[in-house]
Structure 1
């Protein structure tokens, strides 16, 4: 594509926009018309909360007794609570969440199911979730099951139960991509809260979700709606990362809920750091700590693990799991090893963690958790089972995490963490040895060293208490508390740096690319694949290729695949698999209609992104009124003694190349706006031996204007040329670019070249074309973006300039699979076109856009 040389011409009249963004009022009215049920239920939740008094506070005993659902309500014959609990929020926070969930979640369901089926799903799944959960609680309480006994007296109000069920029902009517995503996101969230909170409402939602899963299949009359469908590598990585992150968040959920109703909720005790019983333990053990009993030392060790530093270290497994999840989402092998390590250590130490949690509760409350041995044993097994299941999942899915970290990054990480560990341990020993020698005179240097090393281990992973305990409120305690915090902070930062470092990838073969271009062309813009900064992927048979550039995880291709027409579909699918394996999202940019048709067959979506203009040189005759401006420029140039030169950079004399370089530098430096790149070549691209240059020289032989042309091959022969580089000297003849381009077209006609491409213009449509109304928000946004960028880069003016040559208009499209990736694709394209924008240029661009 070419940049607009006439963008600074303020005399050019603006084009009246053909589309506009809806106003806020229009958008809200549209949503009301399309989603009456979701809006009505959202309003109902607010009204019932105001009437019941839960909009300002938790429900009163009278409210829960009258409207709350649960085992007591069923035993009392309050059958209506199955439905009343679905429309009354529990507290102000839930009123807000339920209202938003209704607008978003039920809005999605309503557009898929319709009003009546959505209402049916809301009532059936919500009522079923409450009823079945109450039945399980009643049955479990009669058999003495811990969770059921603790929740059998609950009465709940929870609109989210029906919303979750309705959304899960609607997934059966969605495509495989959205069905899989919503089920995974909703499912992981609901299961996490059920495992780590244990509240009755979470069980309601879990059962409603399962009912909705099967109800959707029944309503859709399609058993395949139960299946998630085949998923890409990226989707698998997303799923694994979500599961790892959700299980990491679980202990924090339990901590926030102050729950101890499930075995997983016991991990919340690790976050507690109440030191209120410290003085009592010291009083019982006596001032001479070294002479204290093993029981006193153990209790002091538990007390010392409750300080602020140990409180922060309790978050370490969660933080490391989040870091691992972020890397797993990108397909990093290092993140896979990190996740495996965290889950393995968690599984091995889970019995210790449960015991430790129980002990800490006893120290803080003065009482011990009393559970039957068999059930307590089952809880310990359950605490081991969860990390083991995650570990098995990681091992089974390991082939999807192949991106290796650079060896240099690994070596730097190992050196940094080793040095930090040694430094911190030595610092701790120096800071605390006087205190330790005073209270533990029998401690040897080995004991001091082991005590220092143990400071780097979070207390939850200590299989036995320290024999040396530093207590009190003095300097050694600060070192005792925060040595591990400092070490793991450094380790975590180092891990993040590894995951942010570029993965180790193979290179490309420029000679192979050029060979394939000569055979298959790759379309009008195929030669851009040879430019510096672009990578090339080769098909499995090495007979096809695709040029691309990766920006922010988006693999932006350079127009059409370099492949034979019959191989395009296979090559595209292979490239998508390749991107999937590297955690990239592919975006096929500026593809021509014949290639866009392939994507349509594959079920992808296409979006108009511009227009290419082509001149049929074999039929070129400069006659008629439509050629008047071009004919005038050509005749004027001839009268003024202008001539043209066609050749490669190496064929030009030194004086000409110096003038071209000076012309380009003057043009760039004279513009406040940043120079665009990616599909716009510069001086470096002019120097390619296969690129041709057309010069306009005045009567003195000085260069007045320059254009560059990229070759388009077919079966080894040049069949067309594509315009790329355009520059002119300030003060040159008006119409010099028209003179130069039409001279090139006439030269092509005389040499047997049948077509000439004037490249593409982004964000515009064919002049005079019947533009359909913009139905999607994205298309309306593109209209708005085109109008906003027009003052800065003049795309419409550029198209008008090219229209003077009476070209054929060829639409250009962008093919993409996932609509959610469009914002990221837009950012990636911006960075690809403007990679080196300075702050000053960015400000200038913003000013231009605001005009």
Structure 2
């Protein structure tokens, strides 16, 4: 029922998108492209192109080509793009405007594209001559145009992402494939760009806006990844006629017959024989994979560039320069011109050939130069230990493999064709680490006929580069996460002077590292997990400096290519996050009391008074103390109670914002203990200080444990006793801490907020983990003390990072879940499910 309601709600919000998806399904059925490619009759009647639209006078094809998919694959892509991408565009533009945008951009894209092909063919331009015979059926063209038009109505962050991603994707296909549909899509996208500015009543959306370091890195990484994917597109479609389709020749060759080549080249020495032997060494799975090493390195470099890594920058520059060099030597423009002149090519045709080959060389050069010019955005160097480890692994792997190959080759030196010398073997050892298409352009080539040597001959380079890539990935994720000398003292001093909120003292716990402002008057405690910098509560600074502190820390994270997440922050910081354009969501409720005004009279306090009276009757006493003041006997009892609790639960202890036994030992933390008449400890609570101007004005409860066979209501007794003790001390604030994933009850007449992706996720986690950790039960228990509730929030800048944020927070709370603990947790959840079903 709920699924049906959601589908109906989606259809109601994006009717044009759903309608267009249905339309192309119907047209595919009618045109016969639902199960196979378009027939000749279908293409002649409905497809757009020079031959149909202009020569045959079928003017309607500029419209029909936008509504009929070419084959089942394009149908599936069209339906998915309609429901997702066009759905996004429709939510931004509205149904009427998205329909206008689709129609205008699609028709203009096809019409202008066909016209350009016709004019180019008349002028004798190569691409136009080939493309003019290409026919197009492509419902993706209007979708791309509408999405680009809608980008004008998105925020600056999403506007930039949509445009750079779409144009990178489109340009890659235009350059490396070059068929008509790709060009029509590109023109439609350009049309949508300008149409969006017009619909938005201003050209401001066409101006470039300054990007953050992180966003710039992401955009440059996208460009580098596109240059890696492009050659693969050329290989998949070897008949493409884009400006860079010739790059396929750098990564693919036809192979000669092995035995015939070995027999002929055993005595013959010629350039043709050298190339045949080099290609022969490529005829296998290992060398085939080795050919794609440059592309794999570009993908790896793109990932590192997104992280802001300096090593990734130089790796991407080096690979692009190597690809440009490979193209230069492989195509040999000078020799190509001479052959063309000998074949009586016209000077115009020779010029076109130079342009096409030059594009293959120029693009990697341009990318390398662009990266070099933007090198200031890639400042993150790996820790020294990571650099040493990477160097050791790469050098050691290279030496071991090289020595192993040379030793085996030396033992089978008589099995090489043509005959090899020691110098030949040494040079050939180095060539084993180089893709074959580079080897083809360099020196003599020898090929072993011995089986073992031939296996090493083919797989040596693949193994080395696989190790190199894994080692590079490890270096990209290595970060400096150590606490510098003096940081603990600095954070404590700031906490005493500036506070830091009710959860501020948690900043002193192990696992946190610290950012300090340049003037030393502000700090943020955080931990980095998988590129997510999760803070620990509010920033530690004066109230008037909080906005500046948050911005400076966000800039610090941006410089390190981390996603900043302010976790467990209070509501008075939300306007600052709103100004930054961040999103935020509730992650729980903090329960607060004011001991100085405490009065436990009236019906709401009945259960608490009963617990206090029962404790007094049973002779239970309390002790407000610190760990260092405790006698050994009491410390042993606390240890036993804690260990017993852990053993009985068989569940992993949660960390991060939930302290454990070690956090009790801090001399600034207070303990409130309940001791029975027999001297046996019955319960423990710990209290973290909340400072103002060097004095504790509040306490936050953290650790709670009780022994077995205690009197009923012992925890109520202990907390109430703590509150009464604080009242005597004139304490202004008592926090029973946060209840993770809990929600305060709504006031009468109050309506709940609209759910978001994050709130749905948190709701799911709350229901899932409740049987194991009892968050709701804890929240209900704290309600007995009639507290006021204050919502605590999580603020984050990028909704795309939500999956990574959720994973990082989960890892922060459960950093080391053993197999046994994971099984216990699953068993607990399963039992709860069984009870629910029964």
Range of TM-score over shorter length: over 0.9
Shift of residue 531, structure 1, vs aligned partner: 0.4
Offset of residue 476 of structure 1: 4.1
Q: Assess if the C-alpha contact under 8 Å between 1:647 and 1:694 holds in 2.
A: yes
Given that residues 409 and 425 in structure 2 are in contact (C-alpha distance below 8 angstroms), is that contact kept between their aligned partners in structure 1?
no
Residue 708 (structure 1) aligned with residue 686 (structure 2): yes
Q: Match of 2:619?
A: 641
SS at match of 1:423: helix
Give the match's secondary structure for 2:244: helix
Secondary structure of the 2:447 match is coil
TM-score (norm 1): 0.92
Between 461-470 and 96-105, the greater mean CA deviation after superposition = 461-470
CA distance in 2 between counterparts of 1:455 and 1:536 reads 47
Give SS of 1:587's match: strand
Which residue matches 1:139? 119
Paired residues of 1:403 and 1:504 also in contact (CA < 8 A): no
Cα distance between partner residues in 2 of 1:588 and 1:431: 58
- Matched residue, 1:186: 166
2:13 to 7, 14, 34: 34
C-alpha distance in 1 between matches for 2:739 and 2:344: 74
Shift of 1:475: 4.6
8 A Cα contact 2:500 2:541, kept in partner: yes
Deviation, 1:459, is 2.3
Indicate the residue corresponding to 2:431 in structure 1: 454
Mapping for residues 119-158 of structure 1, pairs under 5 Å: 119-158=99-138
- TM-score, normalised to structure 2, is 0.93
2:780 counterpart of 1:824: no
For 2:72 and 2:683, the matched residues in 1 are separated by: 69
Select 2:774's aligned residue among 758, 773, 794: 794
Cα displacement (A) at 1:290: 4.3
Contact 2:482 2:513 in 1 (8 A): no
Q: Is the 8 A contact 1:608 1:812 kept in 2?
A: yes
Relative to 1, partners in 2 of residues 1:768 and 1:100: Cα closer, same or farther, differing over 3 Å?
Answer: closer
| Contact 2:595-2:731 within 8 A present in 1 as well | yes
Describe the shift of the 1:65–1:721 C-alpha distance in structure 2 as closer, same or farther (beyond 3 A). Answer: same
- Output the CA distance in 1 between the equivalents of 2:82 and 2:197: 22
How far apart are residue 435 of structure 1 and its match? 6.7
User: For the structure 1 residues 287 and 441, does the alpha-carbon distance in structure 2 shift closer, same or farther, using more than 3 Å as the test?
Assistant: closer
Question: 1:374 Cα deviation (Å)?
Answer: 1.9
Which residue is equivalent to 1:330? 307
Query: What SS does structure 2 have at the residue aligned with 1:44?
Result: helix
Equivalent residue number for residue 367 of structure 2 = 390
Q: Residue by residue, what CA displacement relative to the aligned partner does 1:6-27 show, whole Å, maximum 9, x if unpaired?
A: xxxxxxxxxxxxxxxx821111
User: Which residue among 585, 588, 609 is the counterpart of 1:610?
Assistant: 588
Counterpart for residue 10 of structure 1: none
Pair 1:833 & 2:801 matched: no
1:379 to 356, 378, 384: 356
Contact between 2:21 and 2:78, CA under 8 Å: does it hold in 1? yes
Q: Please, which runs of 5 or more residues in structure 1 have no aligned partner?
A: 1-21
User: Offset of 1:303 from its aligned partner?
Assistant: 4.5
Aligned residues of 1:521 and 1:562 also touching (Cα < 8 A)? yes
2:700 pairs with 1:731: no
1:397 positional shift: 2.2
Within 2, Cα distance between the matches of 1:768 and 1:146? 70
The alpha carbon displacement at 1:440 in A equals 6.1
Q: Which residue of 1 is the match for residue 46 of structure 2? A: 67
The answer to whether the 8 Å contact 1:141/1:148 transfers is yes
Report the 3-state secondary structure (helix = DSSP H, G, I; strand = E; otherwise coil) of the residue aligned with 1:171: helix
Matches within 5 A, 1:668-817: 668-767=646-745, 769=747, 770-817=750-797
2:198 to 201, 214, 218: 218
2:441 is paired with a residue whose SS is coil
Q: Aligned in 2, Cα 1:223/1:67: closer, same or farther, shift over 3 Å?
A: same
Q: CA RMSD in A?
A: 2.5
The alignment status of 1:169 with 2:146, answered yes or no, reads no
| 1:643-658 superposed matches below 5 A | 643-658=621-636
1:411 to 388, 399, 405: 388
Task: Give the secondary-structure state (helix, strand or coil) at the position aligned to 1:670.
Answer: helix
Distance 1:718 1:377, change over 3 A: same
- Give the alignment partner of residue 454 of structure 2, picking from 451, 469, 477: 477
Conserved in 2, the CA contact under 8 Å of 1:273 and 1:311? Answer: no
Higher relative contact order (CA 8 A, sep 6+): 1
- What corresponds to 2:30 in structure 1? 51
Change (3 A) 1:847 1:231: farther
- Please state how far the C-alpha of 1:629 moved relative to its aligned partner: 0.8
Question: Distance in 2 between the 1:295 and 1:773 partners?
Answer: 74
Structure 2 residue 641 is matched with structure 1 residue 666 = no
Q: 2:87 aligns with which of 107, 111, 119?
A: 107
CA spacing shift, 1:318–1:164, aligned 2, 3 Å? same
Equivalent of 1:117, from 87, 97, 111? 97
Q: Secondary structure at the match of 1:607?
A: strand
**Which residues in structure 2 correspond to 1:87-98 (within 5 Å)?**
87-98=67-78
Distance 1:808 1:301, change over 3 A: closer
- How far apart are the structure 2 equivalents of 1:772 and 1:693? 38
Q: Unaligned 5+ residue runs, structure 2?
A: 833-838
Q: 1:238, 1:328 within 8 Å by CA — same for their partners in 2? A: yes
For the residues of structure 2 that align with 1:392 and 1:542, how far apart are their CA atoms?
39
Deviation at 1:474, TM superposition (A): 4.7
Contact 1:198 1:259 in 2 (8 A): no
| d(CA) in 1 for partners of 2:467, 2:575 | 52
Query: Structure 1 CA distance, aligned partners of 2:78 and 2:459?
Result: 41
Candidates 489, 513, 520, aligned match of 2:491: 513
Aligned residues: 820
Distance change >3 Å, CA 279–CA 144, structure 1 → 2 = farther
Q: Following superposition of structure 1 onto structure 2, how do residues 221-620 of structure 1 map, counting pairs within 5 Å?
A: 221-227=201-207, 229-276=209-256, 287=264, 289-355=266-332, 372-432=349-409, 437=414, 443-462=420-439, 464-470=441-447, 474-503=451-480, 507=484, 509-620=487-598
- Which residue does the alignment assign to 1:4? none
